[in-house]
Chains A and B, each alone.
Chain A
Amino acid sequence: MIKFDDVVLRYPRAARAAVNGVSLVAPRGAITAIVGPNGSGKSTLVRALLGRIAPERGGVSLDDVRLETLTRREAARRVALVPQREEPAFPLVVRDFIGLGRYAFGGVWSGETPADRAAIEHASNRAGVSEFLQRRTTDLSGGEWQRVRIARALAQGGDALVLDEPTAFLDVAHEMGVFELLDTLAREGRAVLLVSHQLNLVARFATRIALLHNGALAAFGSPAEVMRGDLLEKVYEWPLVVSRDPAVGAPVLVPLRHRAPRSTQ
């Protein structure tokens, strides 16, 4: 379980807090999503989980243990995190890249243990990357790269999984593949916390959605509670309607145009 309790986060010398009094919980067994416009504080919350920015007020806890009482290694054994952007400085072989997920379990001179090998193999199978373990990270497509990064997070173990926009730049099939995988992982009992711009997919897969606006929580509840036209229109500052998808029954956001579309005849 990942818990943010009245968290205030401020970057050095910034006048305004990037996150201002956010409380939310990502329980085990469910996908919890964080959505909101650009600059609303989503990624700053993730940075707090990485210990890269210390809360000015409030706190972050993992299974009721305050994050600041854990070393980075201990935290990494509890929560695996897939950051938004990542570009290795030098290309790596996929198998080695996934193996880096085991860092928090190894000693200075210890090589790969049987437990490491088992975790890497299991994670590769789960994320569906077993066929290209010997390829280089630079030779992967966008969808493969995201799955490889998720595989590394799975090799890391831990009961909590955090992903910052894991489906950016992915086509429909790969995007759905990632969401289906996250859904399975959550059903197995993990706490999955997902930052995403894909409101419509989030509405279908997440149990609860946190909507951020200017660093504060505009809403936190079930998809039906958060996917309201009036609320989203105010937060995103764009005209839109929310309807119900006839095929799957989930709420669907449809952004409107400021001007009527030109006639096509």
Chain B
Amino acid sequence: MKPRTWIILLVVLAVAALAGLALGPVSLAPGTVWHALFGDGDANAVAIVRVLRLPRIALGVVIGAGLGMSGAALQATLRNPLAEPYLLGVSGGAAVGAVIAVALHFTSLAVLPIAAFAGAAFAVTLVLLVARAAGARGDPRVLLMAGVVVGAFANAAVMVLLAGAPAETVRGALWWMMGSLSDATWQGTRWVAVYVIAGGALLLALSREIELLALGEDPAAALGVDVERATRRVYLAASLVAAVTVAGAGLVGFVGLVVPSIVRALGARSVRSVMLGAAIAGGALVVAADVVARTARAPAELPLGAVTALIGVPFFLSRLRRMT
């Protein structure tokens, strides 16, 4: 990707973040936002910007970056432009892990990602086993189907786990299942960022292997990749990143699908630059989608996952049309 394109991506992210700070139930002028960021001006504006909106935007950037990277890695490894953590059931598995942890009263965002990761790793293993049982481990379509099925099963499992819980808990859980940044705090965002950066670094370290796996298993093996081991590592790292986003903001689908395609269309060639570009563009997309979620039907707030699905599903269909 040209340096100019990187700059454009970063500018888009900055604009989305600025819009996120300025827009909402109370709209603030850019100048007010700027002063409030440094603690100057109206006390109310300072509180809205620094306490309510800034952590929310920070969480959105981290979540979007994680989803973008995870999607980019999975698409290349599975050789499938439709792959992404939500459609592969990875996010659903993470949700089950997180709900179990919450039911056991582990609610800290230091611990929650670990439970979500356990659920995601279980889901991804299950998806691979289902695909293998179907006799087509290498067939991306079968994998995607297995992912959707495991995702549906995970949804059902969450519902079963929630049965009998107090109504307030159920409502909160359902809201979270639709994806939301509304519970963002600095403390939580910090933990999510730590895990996303760790998982993202793992994925970047695997980018050469991912590049070769995108050629197919036999070519990758011919060029020196231990296919089984590399594939396992990519799945685990991508699951970790996706699981952390679920722990932080619930199920936000389709970001991992849309963003890598956009970055590739902008000219990113190597897997490493697609992943880095998807991290930036993913952050921008989630922050922008969150602005829409907060303002489209204000004062009511839309679920973030609903907004990304409204963007992602038409995109998915157009991709599917082109594929077949």
Which residues of A are in contact with B by a Cβ distance under 8 Å? 47, 50-52, 71-73, 75-77, 80-90, 92-93, 96, 100-101, 103-104, 106, 108-109, 152-153, 156
Residue among A73, A82, A83 with most chain B CB within 10 A = A83
Which residues of B are in contact with A by a Cβ distance under 8 Å? 75-76, 79-81, 205, 208, 211-212, 214-219, 221-227, 264, 269-270
In contact, A104 and B223 (Cβ under 8 angstroms):
yes
A106 partner residues in chain B, CB cutoff 8 A: 208
Q: A88-B215, A92-B269 are in contact. Are A50 and B221 (CB under 8 A)?
A: yes
In contact, B221 and A52 (Cβ under 8 angstroms):
yes
Give the complex CA separation of A100 and B211 in angstroms. Answer: 8
Residue among B205, B212, B215 with most chain A CB within 10 A = B215
A109 partner residues in chain B, CB cutoff 8 A: 205
In contact, B212 and A83 (Cβ under 8 angstroms):
no
B205 partner residues in chain A, CB cutoff 8 A: 108-109
Give the complex CA separation of A106 and B211 in angstroms. Answer: 14
A80 partner residues in chain B, CB cutoff 8 A: 222
In contact, B215 and A100 (Cβ under 8 angstroms):
yes
Residue among A72, A90, A96, A103 with most chain B CB within 10 A = A90
Q: A86-B219, A90-B214, A109-B205 are in contact. Are A71 and B226 (CB under 8 A)?
A: yes
A93 partner residues in chain B, CB cutoff 8 A: 269
Give the complex CA separation of A73 and B229 in angstroms. Answer: 13
In contact, B269 and A156 (Cβ under 8 angstroms):
no
With both chains docked as a complex, state the minimum distance between the C-beta of A135 and any C-beta of chain B, in angstroms: 13
Nearest to A71 among chain B residues (CB) is B226
Q: A86-B215, A88-B214, A88-B215 are in contact. Are A96 and B221 (CB under 8 A)?
A: no
Nearest to A102 among chain B residues (CB) is B223
The 6 closest A-B pairs by CB, nearest first: A76-B224, A104-B224, A89-B79, A81-B222, A83-B218, A73-B224
Choose among B75, B216, B224, B269 the residue that contacts A86 (Cβ–Cβ < 8 A).
B216
With both chains docked as a complex, state the minimum distance between the C-beta of A250 and any C-beta of chain B, in angstroms: 31
In contact, A72 and B225 (Cβ under 8 angstroms):
yes
Give the complex CA separation of A174 and B271 in angstroms. Answer: 32
B227 partner residues in chain A, CB cutoff 8 A: 52, 72
> Can you list 19 contacts pairing A with B, beta carbon distance less than 8 Å?
A47-B218, A50-B218, A50-B222, A72-B225, A76-B224, A77-B224, A80-B222, A82-B222, A84-B218, A86-B215, A87-B216, A89-B80, A90-B81, A90-B264, A100-B212, A101-B223, A103-B223, A108-B205, A152-B223
Residue among B216, B222, B224 with most chain A CB within 10 A = B222
B79 partner residues in chain A, CB cutoff 8 A: 89
B80 partner residues in chain A, CB cutoff 8 A: 89
Give the complex CA separation of A75 and B211 in angstroms. Answer: 19
In contact, A86 and B218 (Cβ under 8 angstroms):
yes
With both chains docked as a complex, state the minimum distance between the C-beta of A145 and any C-beta of chain B, in angstroms: 13
Residue among B214, B219, B270 with most chain A CB within 10 A = B219
In contact, B225 and A103 (Cβ under 8 angstroms):
yes
Other 20 A-B pairs with CB < 8 A, given A90-B81, A100-B223: A52-B218, A52-B221, A52-B227, A71-B226, A72-B224, A73-B224, A75-B224, A83-B218, A85-B218, A86-B219, A89-B75, A89-B76, A89-B79, A89-B80, A92-B269, A93-B269, A103-B208, A103-B212, A108-B208, A109-B205
Give the complex CA separation of A3 and B5 in angstroms. Answer: 51
In contact, B221 and A51 (Cβ under 8 angstroms):
yes
With both chains docked as a complex, state the minimum distance between the C-beta of B81 and any C-beta of chain A, in angstroms: 7
Nearest to A156 among chain B residues (CB) is B223
Choose among B81, B212, B216, B269 the residue that contacts A85 (Cβ–Cβ < 8 A).
B216
In contact, B269 and A83 (Cβ under 8 angstroms):
no
Give the complex CA separation of A71 and B211 in angstroms. Answer: 19
B211 partner residues in chain A, CB cutoff 8 A: 100
Q: A83-B216, A96-B269 are in contact. Are A72 and B208 (CB under 8 A)?
A: no
Nearest to A46 among chain B residues (CB) is B218
Nearest to B76 among chain A residues (CB) is A89
A83 partner residues in chain B, CB cutoff 8 A: 216, 218-219, 222
Residue among A72, A92, A93 with most chain B CB within 10 A = A72
With both chains docked as a complex, state the minimum distance between the C-beta of A242 and any C-beta of chain B, in angstroms: 33
In contact, B223 and A89 (Cβ under 8 angstroms):
no
Nearest to B217 among chain A residues (CB) is A52
Give the complex CA separation of A51 and B229 in angstroms. Answer: 13
Give the complex CA separation of A156 and B219 in angstroms. Answer: 12
Give the complex CA separation of A156 and B211 in angstroms. Answer: 16
Give the complex CA separation of A83 and B219 in angstroms. Answer: 6
